[in-house]
Amino acid sequence: MNIKTGKAELHTYILLALITTILFLPAIAKAEADAKRSLRYGLMVGTSSMKVDDPDGKTADTTEFSFPNILLVSDLTRDKRLFINMFGQAATLDASPTEIGQDITRIGATGMLQFAFFDKAVWLGAGLGVVQEKFESRHRVTENGYRIVGSERKDRTEIAVPFLIGVSTQYSINRDLDIGLHLQYEAPLRGDINVLSAYAYLLY
């Protein structure tokens, strides 16, 4: 192949590439827009009721407000989506003469496969999570509120795997903003905490 022929072929390839790009540019732009639209993000805030199965004794139940959670929603089909929640929670269980008080910290993520009903007004689903759970300052107190000497227990840290079921209801404010409510129950496949949570969320 001589130099002139090589240059001519190169120019032909460049011209074909430009023509192909121009022809497919609208489709590429639409695909990118659809991809951006299919993955949405938002924030959730709410309250959680926790019940702890402590290996060393009874505990009190508690209800606490959650930190703002990061929400990711990925549309898989028109009526199926992934509902992913990255969260942090802190709670304090009150101590008593018969119940072990403790400070609880939970950091983790849950993922739920949801299916749409009633023209996407309601989403039902189930999934799993991975959560680091810390149990600190474990102790009991007297009737007068004084810490019982010798009642202290070692701090615990564990990786929990909850099974969760949930229901969401969602309404569009405009094309780029939805509001919703989400109710979720977590039962531990591995771990010691049952959690019932109610959230309000914004989805962009």
Per-residue pLDDT, averaged over 133-155, amounts to 94
State percent of the chain over pLDDT 70.
82
Q: How confident is the model at residue 176 (pLDDT cuts 50, 70, 90)?
A: confident
Identify which has the larger pLDDT, 169 or 8: 169
Per the prediction, the chain carries an average pLDDT of: 87
Q: Is the pLDDT of residue 6 over 50?
A: no
Q: Is the pLDDT of residue 3 over 50?
A: no
Tokens representing 187?
């039962």
d(CA 61, CA 42): 29
**pLDDT for the residue numbered 11:** 55
Q: What is the pTM of this model?
A: 0.78
Q: Is the pLDDT of residue 89 over 80?
A: yes
| CATH annotation of 39-203 | 2.40.160.20
